[in-house]
A and B are shown apart, each in its own frame.
Chain A
């Protein structure tokens, strides 16, 4: 459902890493800064997949989603807010009812992964083997299965 930006809330967030966050993140190159008003703006709403990547990242909660006018009745909204390692969603119904849900998104803070920690495969000796990096540690069974018939 296409995003729209509340102009009063948007501060163009140009000082954040990567520049205006919605422009930075949109996977479909939709969000731009309007050259006149310096506000975030969806330049092609009919190509928006309401993935919410921009909504989740906007530092001022300025981005909302209005369901596609073609088939979504007016009046509802679904809005996320980041909480520690997760999101809280507020779901407002057309008839005014409201639900709230909080779900975890990750077990570790961003930036804490250590790609090859404790891997034992030798990059030279094991290069021709079928094993992938770290499988002796992470496969979960003693040996990589293969087919007896071959």
Chain B
């Protein structure tokens, strides 16, 4: 099968992904870069791409420094506790001190923020402010588009691999991918590359089935590309064992934050009990984190999980109780509360609104089931998987600093948002902010290193053959079977995805195994995922849409493998409620309050897994 034409784009800074962090990076890079050429490449269209494309009902990371609400120090203490002792304090502080400026800018650009009568922002929780956020993504994308200019934005181009320098594999040289809507390769040559391409949903088998496979909590568009691009070239990753198991409204995956924090709803079991009350003692096993206020998210999950495991479900979010209490019998007040309740989902998780309507649920009358969902691997929300990056010069100890803020261990390769590890709770606003920080550092890097990297034509050619291989495979072998789907010579991307999800679910502690695993189970899972990775060389695609799905499952498989290898390395259960190591059931601060890091080596196809110290930066 002939390979299609190649368009080569040379630039100074390449931003891969136009989500929250990518749009922030584009906006910021252009301000500082003067005559440098900044290019953004995106697999979809930036007005609705990524995890915020559907909209949001709150900005979950806002300090309110101007109101005296919180300091960045407060934020660090909160995040480290929620992560049960493990987060990079320099990175978290850095997001915290800058994030307010990002939120104020978003408001200036047209994001409607709820206000109190005195003009101050309304608050949901300590860090959360409610917004009318249906259009947060187009509002964020507009300045990015204006800043870079249409001619520097490549949309519907899916990046599959990063390119390293021909003479130095430790230095970035660009990226390669294909046009989703036409037969064409793209080669981007750049001095600095920013990875802003989101987290990973659909690595574990979701609770949804068949037609509902796309109804995951974190966006199904989050295909693990950030990790799947960085791992294969040997970028040092951190905390890839970490995951987030969200408590969500059942089936529709509606978020619960607004219900807990703003409506003050309880969750009760079939006996009418509230697990945060009846299982309070359980927290004492996990000191000092158990006594932290608020209770860390995994521990709250753990308390609920004990109820579910004891057969005390269904668990109900008492929306009825909470709404009646807020309205206090006043019909006008009830109208307002009802409006707010529905807006939370219509702005952000429309499926949940439809689930309510389909089950005849009026939330003021009828409670709604909640469940613990399947695990998600990401770095911007309540997860902390991602690249090990340098912190900022004025905050970071030498162990955490190597010249440029948010630069990975590959020279010239930067990350932000879900791509950065050990820096969680950034959410939309913090990811946008981190993209800005990475972009400014990348400008500095390029000005300090003006010479272009070399790209080897042979490397490009080999990758192009690999990228196009699924189409060639289908073409070559389709005659061997009367079915396009059952063929001894290949596997299609949906089959590969389902296989990955089954392995992760059963061996890495998904929902069907009660989030529980152990050493031998993980070793077995790794053996199976290694075979899957071999079989991915026999992926087959009938068209470019399926080719896109092929490369998504390749990226997701890297995430799954890294996750299992890290899980195996950490010999403790640090985050009960997210996962359990049955062979090491306790939290072990004395030995394991350390980051687990890894590097994959392509030449030997092997992984080096090791630890890095946790250093307290904020007193």
Query: Once bound together, how far apart are the Cα atoms of A94 and B357, in whole Å?
Result: 6
Contact residues of B between 167 and 225, Cβ < 8 Å to A: 180, 208-216, 219-221
Among B34, B105, B180, B443, which residue has the most Cβ atoms of chain A within 10 A?
A: B105
Query: Once bound together, how far apart are the Cα atoms of A100 and B135, in whole Å?
Result: 19
* B321: interface (CB < 8 Å): no
* A60: interface (CB < 8 Å): no
In the complex, the answer to whether B354 meets A72 with C-beta atoms within 8 Å is: yes
Inter-chain contact total with CB atoms closer than 8 Å: 246
Query: Once bound together, how far apart are the Cα atoms of A65 and B104, in whole Å?
Result: 35
Distance in Å from the Cβ of B547 to the closest Cβ of chain A?
A: 10
In the complex, the answer to whether A47 meets B109 with C-beta atoms within 8 Å is: no
* A146: interface (CB < 8 Å): yes
* A92: interface (CB < 8 Å): yes
Query: Once bound together, how far apart are the Cα atoms of A106 and B54, in whole Å?
Result: 14
Distance in Å from the Cβ of B128 to the closest Cβ of chain A?
A: 17
A9-46 near B? 1/0 per residue, CB < 8 Å: 00000000000000011111100100000000001111
CB-defined contacts of B210 to chain A, threshold 8 Å: 46, 68-70
Contacts A113-B142, A149-B619 given: A47-B214 contact, CB under 8 Å? yes
Total A residues in contact with B, Cβ cutoff 8 Å: 79
* B384: interface (CB < 8 Å): no
Contacts A70-B210, A91-B342 given: A50-B350 contact, CB under 8 Å? yes
Contacts A46-B210, A101-B342, A113-B143 given: A52-B357 contact, CB under 8 Å? no
In the complex, the answer to whether B48 meets A108 with C-beta atoms within 8 Å is: no
Contacts A111-B142, A134-B105 given: A67-B355 contact, CB under 8 Å? yes
Interface on chain A toward B: helix, strand, loop, or mixed SS? Answer: loop
In the complex, the answer to whether A146 meets B220 with C-beta atoms within 8 Å is: no
Distance in Å from the Cβ of B356 to the closest Cβ of chain A?
A: 8
Contact residues of B between 2 and 31, Cβ < 8 Å to A: 27-28, 30-31
Contacts A115-B146, A115-B147 given: A150-B109 contact, CB under 8 Å? no
Query: Once bound together, how far apart are the Cα atoms of A101 and B139, in whole Å?
Result: 22
* A76: interface (CB < 8 Å): yes
Contact residues of B between 283 and 303, Cβ < 8 Å to A: none
Chain A, Cβ-Cβ closest to B338: A99
In the complex, the answer to whether B211 meets A46 with C-beta atoms within 8 Å is: yes
Interface on chain B toward A: helix, strand, loop, or mixed SS? Answer: helix
* B374: interface (CB < 8 Å): no
A92-115 near B? 1/0 per residue, CB < 8 Å: 111101010101111111111101
In the complex, the answer to whether A71 meets B212 with C-beta atoms within 8 Å is: yes
Contact residues of B between 34 and 76, Cβ < 8 Å to A: 34, 43-45, 47-50, 53-54, 65-66, 71-72
Contacts A1-B354, A65-B354, A106-B112 given: A29-B180 contact, CB under 8 Å? yes
In the complex, the answer to whether A29 meets B112 with C-beta atoms within 8 Å is: no
Query: Once bound together, how far apart are the Cα atoms of A97 and B360, in whole Å?
Result: 8
Among A43, A65, A68, A124, which residue has the most Cβ atoms of chain B within 10 A?
A: A68
In the complex, the answer to whether A49 meets B54 with C-beta atoms within 8 Å is: yes
Distance in Å from the Cβ of B497 to the closest Cβ of chain A?
A: 10
Contact residues of B between 106 and 128, Cβ < 8 Å to A: 107-112
23 contacts between A and B (CB under 8 A): A27-B45, A29-B545, A29-B548, A49-B54, A51-B219, A52-B350, A67-B351, A70-B209, A74-B358, A75-B358, A78-B357, A80-B346, A95-B360, A103-B134, A106-B135, A116-B31, A127-B32, A127-B443, A133-B440, A134-B31, A138-B104, A139-B98, A145-B65
Task: Taking A89-B353, A103-B347, A130-B393 as given, write out 19 further A-B residue pairs in contact, using a Cβ cutoff of 8 Å, ordered by the A residue number.
Answer: A27-B50, A29-B44, A46-B212, A67-B355, A67-B358, A69-B211, A87-B346, A91-B342, A93-B357, A94-B358, A101-B346, A104-B132, A111-B142, A115-B143, A119-B31, A133-B32, A138-B100, A146-B97, A146-B395
B residues in contact (CB < 8 Å) with A: 27-28, 30-34, 43-45, 47-50, 53-54, 65-66, 71-72, 93, 97-98, 100-101, 104-105, 107-112, 132, 134-135, 138-139, 142-143, 146-147, 156, 180, 208-216, 219-221, 251, 338-339, 342-343, 346-347, 350-351, 353-355, 357-360, 362, 392-395, 433, 436-437, 440, 443-444, 447, 545, 548, 617-619
